């Protein structure tokens, strides 16, 4: 096999001509597509050549005389002169897929097209649209144009287990997550690159719907279950999905079974020259050899493209429509006004309620236009991160100040409550170790919060991210002390008593001088001093939840202290509270720390990157952290005492007892991991398991 596609090879093809003409014994496949080859095709080729791909080059001239039905020749996207009578030996319609002679260029014929990939018959979908059949017998390097020419398909790539390849796959199973299971009974597959085209389309923005269903790699406990199909999706030459995996997409949609589950992807793309190109490309990732060698390329079950704004009808139709519309308008206008007034009143009341809540000094109300301009229309280039209910963007206001702007997600069902909670909470507390709120915006359905910008990002990225900051021991100790002071203020010093409930490394931000500031008050709760605890729904992040909160929902300020202890150990060790890449006895940070502490090697906990540190100060920090993660909330110190111990104003304990949950976990995992029962694992999982649960 001679294969150099997608290599940007440019210039003439004389070297290839000589090779093709004189080679009589070599493997009969040549993949030379997606380069920048120019000139004409060779006058002759070796007799053994059966498959040739010259698609997506800049070749020109007449077609060669050696083209025949015995040769698969893909010449899509070049500049050839097509003589329909002389070149009838090739599949019809090649002129529609030349760079200079696309069919119906400037003469639109339709505003949509649909294809049921691999099907031999038309299929009516649940929305009454009819999907055209696509059972063309494509091979290693071939194409097909519908008759009349409304759409086409091009395939390149050879399945290695057969001489011709099986490019249409079938399934009789019923698919989940769709009303149109019949669209998924067939699918077209390619070993490398698969392109669909729509011809003669009206220019404008189109909604392109691609439908996939995986049934080759099944959800079975067999060798098939390890198969992964990974490919890229391009529309009009722009990559929309990288490393797209049908089963993974089904899983992300919440489906229990990822095989035989329909996955629908929709995109808006422009058509400017009356032609639409959909390109599915295997980029060398995923499974190569199972179930069969070559079953790794893209596959698709159905596709459709529809113009978003349909063209207006002729003048007579417009006049008739206006007359009919005028007839019913008088009846409809009263009902419309009533509904509009009701909705406006409801929205006005909601907006007024929010404005009343956040009408506070030193917090500014921005317009949506100001913040959209500041973030360059919420450009992905300015995206700082994404949280449980929104995205955070870097923005530059008109006065030149740089801010962080949190955008509430439309899909967050409880986001408004958390939005109000965050404004209420953070606006009522001011401390150098708490992120400062500058203002908000309540326009539209995506409320916005404006915070001070933290130049050094979040603590978790500084500790565990790829671009780690150089945090020496004195800086880490300063960060621990800053977090402790911020929590002490929330718990004991502010005018209202606040429990944050989601203290973790990602919710601690660092400014330019690496001063830590606690952020994300969406889960914060006000707490009455007169109550011993508050019973509430558990919310937060597993791995940082205290035992009494995770198991019984009992909330006091001691849940923050437990989480602080975990964060402090992460800062000392330079690793997250769970790392599945490590050995079993080191994977869970809390278990590993206690093991080293009991073996009288506490300083071995320190991050290997810490080449220098104060051993006395480090040991004090470890003991304080271990005291914070005690099983009983009564055994944990207050945050004011933690601050006092960190500053050296009071002594840290010489000895700290092992929490019962760690002892239970170690006893259950003693010997082999298979000895742990489900019930035993669940009993300690909430405070050792790192899985995120924002619980809102």
Instruction: Encode pLDDT of 42-95 as tens digits.
Output: 877 777 788 888 888 888 888 777 776 567 888 898 888 887 655 556 778 888
Q: Is the pLDDT of residue 283 over 90?
A: no
Percent of the chain with pLDDT over 70: 73
Give the dihedral of Cα atoms 56, 57, 58, 64; nearest 10 deg: -100
Cis, bond preceding 291 (omega within 30 deg of 0) = yes
Burial letters 464-492, b for 16+ CB under 10 A, else e: beeeeeebebebbbbbbbbbbbbbbbbbe
Burial letters 185-215, b for 16+ CB under 10 A, else e: bbbbbbbbbbbbbbbbbbeeebebebbbbbb
pLDDT band at 628 (very low <50, low <70, confident <90, very high): very high
pTM, two decimal places: 0.49
The pLDDT score that the predictor gives to residue 305 is: 96
pLDDT in tens, 653-686: 888 888 888 777 666 665 444 333 333 333 344 4
pLDDT in tens, 438-468: 888 877 667 888 999 999 999 998 998 776 6
The pLDDT score that the predictor gives to residue 12 is: 58
Average pLDDT of the segment spanning 629-636: 92
Cα–chain center distance at 292:
30
The pLDDT score that the predictor gives to residue 679 is: 34
- Pairing mode of beta strands 151-156, 262-271: unpaired
The pLDDT score that the predictor gives to residue 286 is: 66
- Burial class of residue 221 (count of CB atoms within 10 Å of its CB; 0-12, 13-18, 19+): exposed
CA distances from 569 to 365, 563, 594, 608, 629 (A): 40, 10, 11, 14, 10
Mean pLDDT lowest for which of 272-276, 428-432, 678-682?
A: 678-682
Q: Is the pLDDT of residue 524 over 60?
A: yes
The conformation of residue 310, written as its DSSP 8-state character, comes to P
pLDDT band at 139 (very low <50, low <70, confident <90, very high): confident
pLDDT in tens, 320-356: 666 676 767 766 776 776 666 665 555 455 555 555 5
Structure tokens at 582: 């490590």
Nearest to residue 270, comparing CAs of 294, 239, 236? 236
Of 222 and 647, the one with more pLDDT: 647
Selected from 3.40.50.720, 1.20.120.550, 2.102.10.10, 1.10.510.10, the CATH number assigned to the domain covering 459-693 reads 1.10.510.10
pLDDT band at 391 (very low <50, low <70, confident <90, very high): confident
What whole-number distance in Å separates Cα of residue 425 and Cα of residue 434? 11
Residues 588 and 578 sit within 8 Å (Cβ to Cβ): yes
Catalytic residues: 502
Q: Is the pLDDT of residue 202 over 60?
A: yes
Please tell me which of 244-258, 400-414, 609-623 the model is most confident about, judged by mean pLDDT: 609-623
3-state secondary structure of 228: coil
Of 333 and 576, the one with more pLDDT: 576
Residues 418 and 523 sit within 8 Å (Cβ to Cβ): yes
What whole-number distance in Å separates Cα of residue 547 and Cα of residue 685? 10
Judge: domain 364-452, CATH 3.30.200.20: yes
pLDDT band at 223 (very low <50, low <70, confident <90, very high): very low
CA distances from 294 to 157, 195, 216, 478 (A): 9, 18, 12, 56
- Pairing mode of beta strands 437-441, 364-365: parallel
Average pLDDT of the segment spanning 107-117: 92
What whole-number distance in Å separates Cα of residue 104 and Cα of residue 275? 9
- Residues in contact with 349: Cβ distance below 8 Å, sequence separation at least 6, in sequence order: none
pLDDT band at 292 (very low <50, low <70, confident <90, very high): low
Mean pLDDT lowest for which of 185-199, 380-394, 656-670?
A: 656-670
pLDDT band at 625 (very low <50, low <70, confident <90, very high): very high
CA distances from 404 to 51, 452, 511 (A): 56, 6, 12
The pLDDT score that the predictor gives to residue 209 is: 96
**Length of the chain as a residue count:** 696
The rounded mean pLDDT for the chain is 79
Percent of the chain with pLDDT over 90: 32
The pLDDT score that the predictor gives to residue 689 is: 45
Average pLDDT of the segment spanning 432-436: 92
The pLDDT score that the predictor gives to residue 439 is: 84
Q: Is the alpha carbon torsion for 187, 189, 193, 194 positive or negative?
A: negative
The pLDDT score that the predictor gives to residue 211 is: 96
Which parts are annotated binding residues?
Answer: 406
Nearest to residue 45, comparing CAs of 101, 79, 96, 2? 2
DSSP sequence for 577-596: SB-TTS-HHHHBHHHHHHHH
The pLDDT score that the predictor gives to residue 560 is: 94
CA distances from 577 to 250, 464, 550, 680 (A): 29, 11, 16, 20
Assigned fold of 103-311: Jelly Rolls (2.60.120)
Of 554 and 663, the one with more pLDDT: 554
DSSP sequence for 353-389: HHHHHT--TT-EE--HHHHHHHTTTT-GGGEEEE-SS
The pLDDT score that the predictor gives to residue 537 is: 60
Phi and psi of 544, rounded to 5°? -120, 0
Burial letters 256-274, b for 16+ CB under 10 A, else e: eebbbbbbbbebebebeeb
What whole-number distance in Å separates Cα of residue 57 and Cα of residue 34? 6
The pLDDT score that the predictor gives to residue 20 is: 55
Structure tokens at 254: 């919440």
Phi and psi of 468, rounded to 5°? -65, 140
Q: Is the pLDDT of residue 526 over 80?
A: no
Average pLDDT of the segment spanning 156-164: 63
Which parts are annotated binding residues for ATP?
Answer: 406
Mean pLDDT lowest for which of 33-42, 509-518, 600-609?
A: 33-42
Cα–chain center distance at 257:
20
Q: Which residues pair with 394 in a beta bridge?
A: 404
Q: How many CB atoms sit inside 10 A of residue 587's CB? A: 16
Domain spans, the chain: 1-101, 103-311, 364-452, 459-693
């Amino acid at each position: 096999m001679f294969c150099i596609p997608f290599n940007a090879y440019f210039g003439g093809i004389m070297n290839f001509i000589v090779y093709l003409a004189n080679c009589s014994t070599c493997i009969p496949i040549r993949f030379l597509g997606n380069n920048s080859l120019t000139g004409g095709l060779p006058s002759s080729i070796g007799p053994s050549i059966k498959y040739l791909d010259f698609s997506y080059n800049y070749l020109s001239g007449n077609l060669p005389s050696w083209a025949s039905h015995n040769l698969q020749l893909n010449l899509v996207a070049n500049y050839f002169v097509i003589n329909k009578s002389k070149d009838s030996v090739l599949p019809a319609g090649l002129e529609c897929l030349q760079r200079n002679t696309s069919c119906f260029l400037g003469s639109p014929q339709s505003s949509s097209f649909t294809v049921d990939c691999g099907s031999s018959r038309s299929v009516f979908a649940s929305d009454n649209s009819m999907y055209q059949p696509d059972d063309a017998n494509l091979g290693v390097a071939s194409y097909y144009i519908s008759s009349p020419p409304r759409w086409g398909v091009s395939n390149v790539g050879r399945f290695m287990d057969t001489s011709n390849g099986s490019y249409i796959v079938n399934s009789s199973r019923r698919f989940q997550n769709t009303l149109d299971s019949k669209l998924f009974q067939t699918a077209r597959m390619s070993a490398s690159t698969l392109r669909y085209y729509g011809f003669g389309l009206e220019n404008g923005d189109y909604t392109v719907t691609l439908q996939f269903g995986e049934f080759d790699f099944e959800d079975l406990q067999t060798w098939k279950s390890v198969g992964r199909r990974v490919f890229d999706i391009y529309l009009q030459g722009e990559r929309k999905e990288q490393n797209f995996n049908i089963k993974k997409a089904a899983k992300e949609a919440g489906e229990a079974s990822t095989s035989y589950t329909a996955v629908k992807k929709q995109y808006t793309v422009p058509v400017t020259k009356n032609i639409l190109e959909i390109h599915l490309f295997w980029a060398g990732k995923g499974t190569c050899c199972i179930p069969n060698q070559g079953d790794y390329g893209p596959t698709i079950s159905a596709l459709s493209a529809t113009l978003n704004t349909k063209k207006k009808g002729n003048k007579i139709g417009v006049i008739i429509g206006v007359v009919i519309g005028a007839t019913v308008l008088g009846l409809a206008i009263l009902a419309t006004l009533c509904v509009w007034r009701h909705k406006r009143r409801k929205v006005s009341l909601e907006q007024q309620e929010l404005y009343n809540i956040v009408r506070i000094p030193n917090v500014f109300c921005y317009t949506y236009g100001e913040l959209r301009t500041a973030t360059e229309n919420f450009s992905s280039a300015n995206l700082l991160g994404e949280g449980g209910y929104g995205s955070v963007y870097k923005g530059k206001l008109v006065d030149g100040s740089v801010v962080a702007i949190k955008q509430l997600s439309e899909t967050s069902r409880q986001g408004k409550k958390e939005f109000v909670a965050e404004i209420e909470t953070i606006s009522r507390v001011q401390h150098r170790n708490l992120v400062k709120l500058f203002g908000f915006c309540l326009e539209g359905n995506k409320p916005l919060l404006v915070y001070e910008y933290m130049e050094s990002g979040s603590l978790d990225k500084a500790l565990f991210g790829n671009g780690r900051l150089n945090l020496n021991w004195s800086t880490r100790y300063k960060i621990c002390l800053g977090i402790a002071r911020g929590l002490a203020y929330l718990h004991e010093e502010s005018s209202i008593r606040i429990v944050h409930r989601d203290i973790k490394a990602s919710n601690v931000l660092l400014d330019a001088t690496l001063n830590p500031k606690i952020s994300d008050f969406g889960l914060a709760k006000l707490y009455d001093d007169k109550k011993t605890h508050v019973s509430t729904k558990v919310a937060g992040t597993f791995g940082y939840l205290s035992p009494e909160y995770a198991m019984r929902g009992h909330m006091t300020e001691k849940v923050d202290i437990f989480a602080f202890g975990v964060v402090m150990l992460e800062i000392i060790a330079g690793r997250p509270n769970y790392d599945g890449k490590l050995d079993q006895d080191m994977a869970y940070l809390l278990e590993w720390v206690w093991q080293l502490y009991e073996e009288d090697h506490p300083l071995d906990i320190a991050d290997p990157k810490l080449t220098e540190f104060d051993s006395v100060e480090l040991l004090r920090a470890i003991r304080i952290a271990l005291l914070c993660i005690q099983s009983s909330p009564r055994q944990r110190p207050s945050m004011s005492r933690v601050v006092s111990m960190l500053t050296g104003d009071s002594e840290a304990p010489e000895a700290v007892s092992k929490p019962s949950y760690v002892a239970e976990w170690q006893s259950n995992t003693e010997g082999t991991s298979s000895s742990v029962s489900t019930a035993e694992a669940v009993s300690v999982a909430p405070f050792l398991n790192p899985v995120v649960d924002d619980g809102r």
